[in-house]
Structure 1
Amino acid sequence: MDEHLAATLTTAVHERVDYLDHLAADEPSRAALAETEITRLTSAWRVLLELHAPDGHGRCPHCSTWRRPRRPCTVWTTAHQHLNCADGSPAHRAGRHASAAGRSTVAVLGAS
């Protein structure tokens, strides 16, 4: 993708998200958003998650490289954080740095 097209797409997406935030702040607009935008947003999430669906080894075909397999994919962890956690932040942190902070190192991606 060339630089100009990438910048145009980035700007358009940010402007759309800003517009939706503005509408969500306006009480009368919320019902209209619920009727139109929720379906569009859930469809977008489904497409994005399908593109990052793990292979038979649990690796994302887009985020993993032969040197560095990613399990789970950051798209999936981001989706979980924003769709399953009330404030959009991770409910638990797992991994090698979790034990240093006194937290469990057990993966919690599937937990809600």
Structure 2
Amino acid sequence: MDEVLTSTLQRAVFGRLDYLERLADEGDQQSKAVLADSEIARLTGAFRALLAVHAPDELGRCRSCTAGPWRRRVRCTVWKAAYRHLVGDTADRTTPAGRHSLRKPARQPT
């Protein structure tokens, strides 16, 4: 993919994620219910598609992350990230993870 298209796609995807996150953080209960109804299925579908692209082959190698004619092994972390964010370490679900983990928390009403 060329750099301009990649950059455009990244901005669009991160923009949508930022919008959804902002709505989930700042929206009223009715907005959150509508958001859940409309977006959870889309997000789980996207996650499943991403995981399918990174499904391991018969040798346990990711078909997308194994590069070149010699199929040099490149470490794929997609499944580990999926596990960590969806299933793993449930002891600390209040700490944000990923790209927004350094974001300042929203102000609490006083």
How does the TM-score come out when normalised to structure 2?
A: 0.71
Q: Percent identity?
A: 52
1:67 positional shift? 2.8
Q: What is the CA deviation profile of residues 45-99 of structure 1, one whole-angstrom value per residue up to 9, with x for unaligned ones?
A: 11011111110111101112423253xx31101110111133376xxxxxxxxxx
- Equivalent residue letter for 1:27: D
Q: CA RMSD in A?
A: 1.7
Q: How does 1:12-91 map to 2 (within 5 A)?
A: 12-25=12-25, 26-28=27-29, 29-65=31-67, 66-70=71-75, 73-85=76-88, 86=90, 87=93
Provide runs of 4+ in structure 1 moved above 4 Å. none
- Structure 1 unaligned segments of length 5 or more: list them: 90-112
Aligned mates of 1:58, 1:39 — CA distance in 2: 28
In structure 2, runs of 5+ residues without a counterpart are 98-110
Question: After superposition, what is the alpha-carbon deviation per residue over 1:12-46, rounded to whole angstroms, capped at 9, x for unaligned?
Answer: 01110110011101132210111010000000011
Q: What is the letter of the counterpart of residue 31 of structure 1?
A: A
